[in-house]
Amino acid sequence: MGVEVGNVALDQRPVSKLDRAVIFLGPPGSGKGTQAKTLAGKYGVPHLSTGDMLREHIAQGTPLGLKAKPIMDRGELVPDSVVLKMVAERIERPDCSQGFVFDGFPRTVTQAKYLGELLKYHGLKQPFVIHLVISTALLMRRLTGRRTCKVGGEIYNVYDRPPKMDGICDKDGGELYQRPDDREEVIQPRLNAYEKQTAPLVSYYRRLGALHQIDASKSVAEVEQEITQAVANIRGAR
């Protein structure tokens, strides 16, 4: 549900082009995937989740997937070289020419610098970063409770966003599964990797003046509303 402005629901108002990369930055479970999917849908641009891309490689048993699987199972980051090649190939595709939404990328300063160069090369503006801020205490519940649809990737939470029928996606009837890295013993290494390797991106992008901070402990609808507003503002401020 969107916010009502007069008689018009904000979500249903026509939105024009995004024309840049929007990056969702935040720890595991902060809601990057949930919100990135929605924002990309609103603007009709691709939602690029490096986690989803890597899981797809694993599911297909590609050499890249075979390399990434044990690393992801330990909750560590996949090497920059692997991720950068995958991202560079993806944003070459024509559907990215009007902008796109990154979820889980960049995750290291090296990735961020490379992305900056890549965007310049493709003639795209510098990215706008949405930083989802949340306490660690809330993340465990979000991650252990997460269930994802095998068909369309819709994200649920057995505690806070349960499907109408246990184990079945409301949208397409797909089977819901639990990610292997959402086991408690893998969550802590993922949080550690975030603190050590990804959190430095907050000051990196703040220095570039491209960072917008959002309280991610609010409800999905409230967070969505703030993101919609923040993105509309940067577009209006050009």
- Name the residues that contact ligand AP5, by CB under 6 A: 26, 28-34, 50-51, 54, 71-72, 75-78, 83, 104-105, 107, 111, 142, 145-146, 155-157, 160-161, 181, 190, 219-220, 223
Q: Distance between CA atoms of 1 and 9, rounded to whole angstroms?
A: 8
Nearer to ligand AP5, 46 or 145 (CB): 145
Rounded Cα–Cα distance for residues 234 and 238 (Å): 7
Whether 183 is catalytic is no
Q: Which is nearer to ligand AP5, 20 or 190 (CB)?
A: 190
Helix (H, G, I), strand (E, B) or coil at 167: coil
Which residue lies nearer to ligand AP5 by CB, 38 or 235?
Answer: 38
Terminal CA-to-CA distance of the chain, rounded, Å? 28
Residue of closest CB approach to ligand AP5: 51
Q: Could you tell me the smallest distance in angstroms from the CB atom of residue 238 to ligand AP5?
A: 27
Whether 235 is catalytic is no
Could you tell me the smallest distance in angstroms from the CB atom of residue 124 to ligand AP5?
18
Hey, is 101 helix, strand or coil? strand
Respond yes or no on whether the N-terminal peptide bond of residue 79 is cis (omega within 30° of 0).
no
Say which of 141, 161, 179, 206 is annotated catalytic: 179
Cα(205)–Cα(199) distance, rounded to whole angstroms? 11
Handedness of CA 181, 90, 226, 160 (dihedral sign): negative
Question: Would you call 17 a catalytic residue per the annotation?
Answer: no
Active-site residue list:
32, 107, 146, 179, 190
